[in-house]
Structure 1
Amino acid sequence: MKKSFSRKASFFVCLLLLLSLFVSLVPPLAYAEEAGTQSDAEGNAPVAGISNVMGEYLEPNEESVEDPDAGKLELVMEGESRAAIVVTTTATELEKQAAQELQSYLKRISGTELSIVTNASAVTGTKIFVGSAAPDPDLDQIRQGGTDPDSFRLSVSGESIQLVGLSGRGVLFAAYELLEQIGIRWFAPGEIGTEIPSMQTIRVKEQNTIQHPGMTTRVVGGMEYLFAQTKMDFVDKFEGTPWLQHNRGNNTIRLSQHGLLCKITVKERPDLFVQVNGKPTSQFDVTKPEVLTCVVNEALKYLEQNPNAKYINMGPNDGDDFGTSDWDAVDYDPLMGSNSITDRYVKFFNMVLEQIEPQYPDVGIAFLAYVRYMRAPVREIPNPKLLPVIAPISVERIHSMENDMSWERTYLKGLISDWKKLGVDVSFYTYMYNLADPGMPFSMINRTVEEIKHFRKEGMNQLVFEALPSWAYQGPSLYLMSKLNWNPELDVQETLTDYFSKYYGPAAEPMWNHFRKLEDTFIHADHYTGAVFDFSKILTAEVMAALEDTLVEAEGKAPANSGYAERIRMVRVAFDFGKAFTNMRNAYLKFDFVKAKQYYDEAKALLTVASFHSPVIIHPFAGGYLDLFWKYQIEQAYERVTKGNKIIAELPDEWLAMFIPGGNGEKLGLWKPGVGTQSWMKLKTYSDTWSNQGLRYYKGEVWYRTAVNVADKYKDKPIKLWFGDIDEKPRVWVNGKEIQPKSKGIAMVMPWEYDVTSVIKFGQPNDIVVSINNQYLDELGTGGIVGPAILWTTASEPDGEPGTSIDKSILTANVTSIPAGAEFKVNYGLSDVSRAVYAQDINFDYDPNVMELVSARPLIEGVAIVETVKEPAGKLRLIVASQGPEYAVTGNAQVIEVTFRAKNILQTASGVISITSVSLGDAQGNEFQTALSSVTVEVTAGSTGGNHPDINQDGKVSIGDLSFVAAHYGKDSSSPNWEQVKKADINGDGKIDILDLAAVAKKIVE
């Protein structure tokens, strides 16, 4: 990553717009029915406009007593086939897919395989006719309710089932409806996310079910395949594609795009592009007649190739380099802090439509309405065939637009209304995730339900959803979104109950309460800063404790190694990431940079687990925000307090501040020492954002001032001033002298550093003044100094009296929770060493019932482990020596890395690694001791692959478990009852053989 760059829009916004472009290669949605009803959460404060759709958990209704006279067709009876699937010899690919999926899933349910045939007359019993094989499709019945090609009819009558639709997808969706009636659910991608009932008899009731999609398009951008900010392999890159299809999505239609179709480049004709400061930008100057001609010609070419297109997709390029134009109306955009340019583009789009209308009178233009062109025009009247797709990337993301607490989110309702008053249809681009969030616990159930309900009320039937699916915490929201896309009238409470009861089984109620608590916390959160800056104020210690309690309860109710347990484990991984990230942030803001690095490493390890899982627990692109926005701060901070480096002064959280909206505070002399400060306000930096201090929409110059003392003992030391986070570009004065940066930063990404050795005054206050011009939208509600700042000095070897003790030893683990069988690392280090250390005798204790020692290695060049004693189990002694004076250990240092492996335990347990004694030696042969330390690691029960050998789950591995394996010896994944016996496949290789018998026998004798 470059440390500096030229920009016309913020780095952060450009990144997110690039992401939007990437995933929006799939677009809209539409519906035509009423949204589900809401139920108030018990105990909520009676605040108008705020309720929680998740009420008390209610067990699902018992199936009604069957009418013995009701018609039922048998597909399978006591494990024997009573039906066949009929296709034509010319079946389409989607018809073949429907037949094959019916055959596959019915076999997995019952163990019985139905035949796929092309000769219906040869079939005895029930005939399942697929698509064109149907003898009586009667498609007119479907068309009476609408002509959407995804519509279908499922007819069950006499001895036949007919699956027909107005397109191949309609036929496929009819098959999925049949499977869902039987009990199949596709809650999340892959095997883990698919709920398949087990039954020996399958019957289907007589019916004539006709369904039309509530939304004419059901596009979810970002769902079809996984991607990351760095190159990586995935367990299943395309896991989202079948999930979206099974839930009746349709990613074949696009609405809006970046770019105006014209292929002229800025190199060829710079005069056709907007000029800013005498230089062309990336945006076409739409006031130029030649630009209009070029765009119209390209639009006509597109329509010639796509004569059935309803819309031409076009819009400005990414960025904010639009300059100004006479076509702009005067309309200030409070979110962007600049003038709206919507009128300019509406005028241009109107002109394009005017020229193509003679040949294509029904074609419109769909364009993204966001950033500086999201507001409705105030001067131009849009052509009725314009479709603005409102994409609120600059609006807070955690509340619903029906939540009256959020003035900014409810502002969107006004935007929709303003556009509609001008006589155009309106589309909406919904972000189904919290932007710039690396994977914190966050759920969108209420937002999804309430906003789709609002869109329906407004008659908006063309919507776009963008997702970065993180299935642990977003699973219920994404599933509910897909169901509401198809049927906006569904019963939300019933759908959620079905989800939790089937997905989490015996742990349904505590998992419901887990998500209910999370939803309730966010809908009542009076915080609005973007990314995760406010999450520590929302997910407080009390909230996290409540979430932990419900998760622990759920873990206790789910049978070990069951599908339910694995689904809960996904939430556990994501929740633990949230804890690690929160701990990292809290330690960082408390200047405990060593702990912050420890928690950062833990969070990184959890992201690896989350990404290399199917379905992905945390989307790898989202997880990449951890490094993008936090890596440089955390690692640089750690480097400034380790290897002998030391903080001289922590700069305060609260500074004096003055705001100059128009700038030029330098001319006022605000940088000078001794200026009066009575009129300056107090402003917090790292503990609170501008948004939380009433400055959410401020754009302009801010001046900070503080003073710190530097002790005389540092007179001969190099002294550096380090700022962890600044939004945006600073200028710094120390004692009246402007200092140029030694290391330039990037807003919200890279720290800034200054060498102030020559200007520091010792034993007296030093004036530090910082001027920052907050000009762009880098993140919602941030600005100025947003992270810790320190004065620090580099390592040295201070004098000391013999016998002076070292402050303490330090143990840090790279994780605090680890799956059974996995390796983890614990670092041993020293803190505040008062003299050079040349030799160390370190004794460790660890719990041998929970973990085993793997290895130990030095972390410092020139420091060696010269002797290792590993016996008895649970003890470790290391003799460490420096190889010469240049490798002596001083200051703060990480010395040794010890690797352990978590044992395959039957129940989750915690193990302690502790230092029982440390003797250190200096250059004169003096010996001294350190304070001791310890670290605790939780090992979660289960095996790293296959199934646990405690098959009968009686808490021990014994002859009963071995007998179960022996009874099913020789069976494999193709066996009819594999779902019931696969727990005997101990090594997870898809068959039960001698290796599984040996694995259980080994555990019995251990």
Structure 2
Amino acid sequence: MSRLVVAVGFLLLTSPAFAADLAKGGKSLATIVINPGDTPKAKSKVKALATGDAVAAQLLADWLGKMVGAPTPVQNSAPAAGTPIYVGRAAVAAGLKLDDIDSRTKEGVRIVVEANRVLIAGQSDAATLKAVCRFLEHLGCRYFMDTPLGEVFPHTPDLTVAAVTITEKPGLLYRNPKGPTWPGGSWKSWNGAGGEDFAHAHSWGRYIPKGLFAEHPEYFAMGADGKRKDGDWLCTSNPGVRGVFAKNVVAAIKAGARNPSISPPDGRGYCQCPACKAQDDPKVIEPSSGSVAVSTRYADFFDDVARRVAKEAPDVILNFYVYADYTQPPTRTTKLAPNLCAVIAPIRYCRLHALGDPNCPSRKQAVDMIDGWARVAPRLGYYNYMYNLADATLPTFKFTPCRLEFPLLADRGLAFMTIEVLSNWHLYGPQIYLSLRMAYDPRLDPVALMDDYFTKFYGPAAAPMKAYWMGIDGATAVLPNHAGGFYGMSGVYTDEFVRACESRLKQASDAATGVYAERVALHAAGFQNVIDYRSINEAMARGDFRAAKTSYDRMTARIDVLSAKRHANPEYGTAYLRRFLSKAIDGGLTATAAPTRVVAVLPDRWKFAPDDKDDGEAKGFASPTHDDTRWRQVATYSNTLSGQGLEENTVLWYRTTVRVPVGKGSLALVFPEVDGPATVYVNGKAVEAEPILPNPKAVADVPRRAPFRVPPGDAVVAVRVDNRRISELFLGGILRPVVLVEAP
């Protein structure tokens, strides 16, 4: 972002000849002026994403009123006395120049404070709203989170602003924070969202007419069985489909689409015809799946379509995802069409560590991937996953990734960024704010930005709260786990680190009063999720699913209260808890309910071996006499395979021994959660499994009863898990404690 600030000054200056007086003794001396026809809104709350000079003026009046304690009038002509604040078109009419600001998206803003008048405007309605927000920040205001608790403004009866000129424009053409059930309102505009829309979505189905398969089946993808199938997947090597596709993209543009997406569908329905496969380089392997990358075929298709479209719409940019099995750069030396944008969407890459982290193979690969696309694509977009899949609802602060990644991407031609995040302010407040501010200006100093945040948001509690959040960032950076979510994030919160967090929050609570105490309490409530989540894990490790349920209910009830205040996302505040935790807890509770009793919890660490050829059963891996002395030991529920350096997309085998007691009841093994289809063997015999819950729809197969009959004593339990299907969570295998139960 380019920025020019001249003669910066602030409040209560002693040189009135070079200043503008806005308030004195709690009485406003300013009048906001907008052009006739720009009528102010009757109500003070600015609607989500609303723009226009009247909206900008009303926002300015609202915040000045909060600061001074008196209303600032808005009118269509200069006042007879006092200080006029000209906004938008009125500022331009009063002499403010904007045409020298070079902004493709017309988002340049300029603020001029001179003797007894203020001029504020942008090159568009949205930019004028941003200019007002920028002026308020110059006055000391901040909007840290999208609720009243996030509003920061000085209370001052006297307000004088020094002469100053501020000129700026955003560093990226489009900044797009998105998440479910979060309109964002003026918070997004204030902190830098907006710009020229770059559409990015799975979109092939929009450009292929329904019923075309009957006439041209050759346009559609061929499956591995040699048959072509109707649907959204295409045979991209076919010249005819390229023409139809390009023609319909042009039609969409003429109908109003601006910078449309031309990305493939989600999934893996890639055409298997000889012509398409011939475009793939067998030496280029997609690291997340081990499959041959399909990037080159798609790059050729996108390039051809883009050049056809450019003949009729040369100024429109076409966007395509770099995603799934087409993240690897294409094997071509020529630059792609100048009207293309490669949108990096690293959904299968680590979400915990920074790009280029030397201890994270995934993020090191990501830098090579980005560099490769930067060499062939005229511009890049980036889909920034700012939270984890299977989100653990635990506090997270990705300061180090933001600090390193935004300038790195800007250096490689970044045009826009989408930030996918959940509006869970109790958990991610600082990183939501930081990520959007750095999307607006990738070159800003994140240390200075966050020091300002900690000081203004927490007041006297700034030091311990800074230590709290930066501690989370540091602990995440060294986590030897690349899966994230419920299954990896718990590793951040070790016993020692939990004690450190509790100490910092206690110091902050003791120091804070008033609104600062409310903000500390909000983030202390977020940290309580850590305590409850650890309690849930510890209870399941004992086979005590009732205690786990108690902690789970307490956790969700607290989040529901936060959601009602908009401090947690109303749709996804507890959605991942329900999806990934409740099934394991409820299933275990059902399987261990009286009169069934828990006899034993099998150990966390099992013998483990990958089975790439899927011949383990033939080799006797399930047999009680099989020699497993060379098998490695792995943790099951206390760590993921990823966290142990084992990211195996193959068949997995586990073995352990359980002591079978003397008893009269029937025995069963309960597996609350296994990632992948599983077969259980006891002393070499496969055990028929029944589901805990009807139609379970989790990532795991969930056997309720794996009944068996063996003599008392030691029995060998073996489990075969098919982990060949890719999971974006990068898990695989046994994820929760296995419990031996006895029923009458």
SS of aligned partner of 2:120 = strand
Task: Determine the structure 1 residue equivalent to 2:722.
Answer: 773
Gaps of 5+ in 1: 1-30, 35-61, 228-236, 797-1006
Q: CA deviation at 1:33?
A: 8.5
The answer for the alignment partner of 1:455 in structure 2 is 409
Are residue 340 (structure 1) and residue 293 (structure 2) matched? yes
- Equivalence for 1:983: none
Alignment partner of 2:387 out of 419, 433, 436: 433
2:423 to 456, 460, 469: 469
Instruction: Say if 2:302 is the partner of 1:354.
Output: no
The answer to whether the 8 Å contact 1:154/1:210 transfers is yes
Cα 1:488–1:423 change in 2 (3 A) is closer
Q: Is the 8 A contact 2:481 2:644 kept in 1?
A: no
Q: Measure how far apart 1:402 and its partner are.
A: 4.4
2-structure distance, mates of 1:70, 1:374: 60
Which of residues 240, 260, 274 in structure 2 aligns to 1:312?
Answer: 260
Q: Please show how residues 660-699 of structure 1 align to structure 2 within 5 Å.
A: 660-696=611-647, 698-699=648-649
Q: How much does 1:470 deviate?
A: 1.6
Change (3 A) 1:755 1:475: closer
Residue pairs, 1:90-109, within 5 angstroms? 90-91=37-38, 94-109=52-67
1:742 maps to a residue whose letter is: E
Relative to the length of structure 2, the TM-score reads 0.89
Counterpart AA for 2:676: E
Task: Name the residue aligned to 1:292.
Answer: 242
Please say if residues 81 and 112 of structure 1, whose CA atoms lie closer than 8 Å, have aligned partners that are also in contact: yes
Tell me, yes or no, if structure 1 residue 782 matches structure 2 residue 717.
no
Indicate whether 1:591 and 2:538 are aligned.
Answer: no
**Aligned-partner SS, 2:233:** strand
Supply the distance in 1 between the matched residues of 2:28 and 2:232 (Cα, whole angstroms).
65
Q: Judging changes above 3 Å, is the alpha-carbon distance between structure 1 residues 350 and 449 closer, same or farther for their aligned structure 2 residues?
A: same
**What's the counterpart of residue 710 of structure 2?**
761
- With over 3 angstroms needed to count, the CA separation of the structure-2 counterparts of 1:265 and 1:675, relative to structure 1, is farther
> Which residue of the partner structure matches residue 738 of structure 1?
686
Q: Is the 8 A contact 1:632 1:749 kept in 2?
A: no
Q: CA 1:785–1:129 in structure 2 vs 1: closer, same or farther (change >3 Å)?
A: same
Could you say which residue in structure 2 is the equivalent of 1:724?
672
Which protein is bigger by CA-based radius of gyration? Answer: 1
Instruction: Measure how far apart 1:736 and its partner are.
Output: 3.5
Quote the Cα distance in structure 1 between the aligned partners of 2:653 and 2:445: 54
Q: Which shifted more, 747-756 or 764-773?
A: 747-756
Indicate if the aligned counterparts of 2:34 and 2:57 stay in contact, CA closer than 8 A: yes
Q: Shift of the alpha carbon at 1:78? A: 0.9
Deviation digits for residues 767-787 of structure 1 (CA, Å, limit 9, x no counterpart): 433222211222544222222
Q: Deviation per CA, 1:46-80, whole angstroms, max 9, x where unpaired?
A: xxxxxxxxxxxxxxxx9899563661111111122
The answer for unaligned runs of 5 or more in structure 2 is 40-50
> 3-state SS of the aligned residue for 1:756?
strand
Aligned counterpart, 1:849:
none
Residue 487 of structure 1: how far off its partner (Å): 3.2
2:25 matched to 1:81? no
Q: Which amino acid aligns with 1:241?
A: G
Superposition RMSD in Å: 2.8
**Contact 1:531–1:779 under 8 Å retained in 2:** no
The structure-2 alpha-carbon separation of the partners of 1:163 and 1:604, relative to structure 1 and needing over 3 Å to count, comes to same
Corresponding residue SS for 2:63: helix
Which residue number in structure 2 is paired with residue 152 of structure 1?
109
Partner Cα separation in structure 2 for residue 756 and residue 267 of structure 1: 53
1:233-283: CA deviation from partner (whole Å, max 9, x where unpaired):
xxxx64x22210122311651342102132445895576234244584752
Which stretch shows the higher mean deviation, 769-778 or 645-654?
645-654
Q: Describe how 1:774-923 pairs up with structure 2 within 5 A.
A: 774-794=723-743, 796=744
Amino acid at match of 1:339: V
Q: Distance in 1 between matches of 2:638 and 2:76?
A: 70
Cα 1:392–1:423 shift into 2, 3 Å: closer
| Structure 1 residue identity aligned to 2:521 | R
- Where does residue 571 of structure 1 map in the other structure? 523
1:642-666 deviation per Cα after TM superposition (whole angstroms, max 9, x unaligned):
4232123433333333322132333
Q: Cα offset for 1:542?
A: 1.0
- Please name the residue that 2:48 is paired with: none
State the AA in 2 paired with 1:564: Y
Q: CA deviation at 1:124?
A: 1.4
Does 1:205 pair with 2:162?
yes
Give yes or no for contact 2:675–2:701 (8 Å, CA) kept in 1. no
The change in CA–CA distance for 1:89 and 1:520 in structure 2 (over 3 A counts) is: same
CA distance in 1, matches of 2:561, 2:422: 17
Which position in structure 1 is the counterpart of 2:372?
418
771-780 or 296-305, larger mean C-alpha shift:
771-780
Q: Is the 8 A contact 2:622 2:681 kept in 1?
A: yes
SS of 1:495's partner is helix
Contact persistence 2:193–2:436 (CA under 8 A): yes
The CA distance in 2 between the partners of 1:354 and 1:487, in whole Å, is 32
Opposite residue 69 of structure 2, the aligned amino acid is G
Quote the residue 1:807 is aligned against.
none
Partners of 1:69 and 1:107 lie apart in 2 by 22
CA distance in 2 between counterparts of 1:726 and 1:334 reads: 24
Query: Which of 645, 656, 661 is the equivalent residue of 2:607?
Result: 656
One-letter identity of the residue aligned with 1:253: D
Match of 1:393 in 2: 347
Note if 1:177 corresponds to 2:130: no
Shift of 1:619: 6.3
Amino acid at match of 2:579: L
**TM-fit CA distance, 1:747:** 5.8
2:198–2:260 contact (8 Å) kept in structure 1: no
Structure 1 position 317, deviation (Å) = 0.9
Contact 1:660 1:700 in 2 (8 A): yes
Distance 1:81 1:379 in 2: 64
For residue 572 of structure 1, report the CA deviation from its aligned partner.
Answer: 1.2
Give 1:524 deviation, angstroms. Answer: 2.7
Residue 294 of structure 1: CA displacement? Answer: 2.9
The AA in structure 2 aligned to 1:705 is R
Taking the aligned partners of 2:700 and 2:676, their CA distance within structure 1 comes to 10
| Preserved contact between residue 221 and residue 465 of structure 1 (Cα < 8 Å) | yes
Distance in 1 (alpha carbons) for counterparts of 2:673 and 2:470: 34
> Residue by residue, what CA displacement relative to the aligned partner does 1:123-161 show, whole Å, maximum 9, x if unpaired?
212111122223655565552544541112212223321
Please give the alpha-carbon distance, in whole angstroms, between the structure 2 residues aligned to 1:438 and 1:667. 39
SS of residue in 1 equivalent to 2:740: strand
**1:192 Cα shift?**
0.8
> Paired residue for 2:474, among 498, 511, 520?
520
For residues 561 and 487 of structure 2, the distance between their equivalents in structure 1, rounded to whole angstroms, comes to 24
Q: Deviations over 1:793-820 (max 9, x none)?
A: 23x4xxxxxxxxxxxxxxxxxxxxxxxx
Structure with higher helix content: 2
When structure 1 is superposed on structure 2, of 269-278 and 532-541 the one drifting more is 269-278
Letter in 2 for 1:586: E
1:327-385, Cα deviation, whole Å (9 max, x unpaired): 32212112223221111211211221233233234544211111111111125855233
In structure 2, how many angstroms separate the alpha carbons of the residues matched to 1:182 and 1:96?
21
CA distance in structure 2 between the aligned counterparts of 1:161 and 1:64, rounded to whole angstroms: 15
Q: 1:128 aligns with which of 85, 96, 104?
A: 85
User: Displacement of 1:549 after TM fit?
Assistant: 0.9
Aligned equivalents of 1:712 and 1:508: distance in 2? 60
TM-score, normalisation: structure 1: 0.67
Q: Give the structure 1 partner of residue 653 of structure 2.
A: 703
Corresponding position: 1:377 with 2:325: no
The amino acid that maps onto 1:736 is G
- For the structure 1 residues 265 and 684, does the alpha-carbon distance in structure 2 shift closer, same or farther, using more than 3 Å as the test? farther
- Kindly tell me: are residues 764 and 300 of structure 1, through their superposed partners in 2, closer, same or farther at Cα, counting changes over 3 Å? same
Distance in 2 separating the partners of 1:300 and 1:130: 38
| Distance 1:574-1:250 versus aligned 2 partners, 3 A rule | same
Other structure's SS at 1:85 match: strand
The answer to whether the 8 Å contact 1:580/1:603 transfers is yes
How far apart are residue 594 of structure 1 and its match? 3.1
Alpha-carbon distance change, 495 to 681 in structure 1, aligned in 2, over 3 angstroms = closer
CA contact (8 A) 1:188 1:471 kept: yes
Count of matched residue positions in the alignment of Structure 1 and Structure 2 = 715
Q: How does 1:919-998 map to 2 (within 5 A)?
A: none
State the match for 1:241 in structure 2: 185
Q: Partner residue of 1:921?
A: none
C-alpha displacement at 1:580, in angstroms? Answer: 0.3
Structure 1 equivalent of residue 491 of structure 2: 537
Classify the secondary structure of the residue corresponding to 2:194: coil
| Equivalent in the alignment of 1:630 | 581
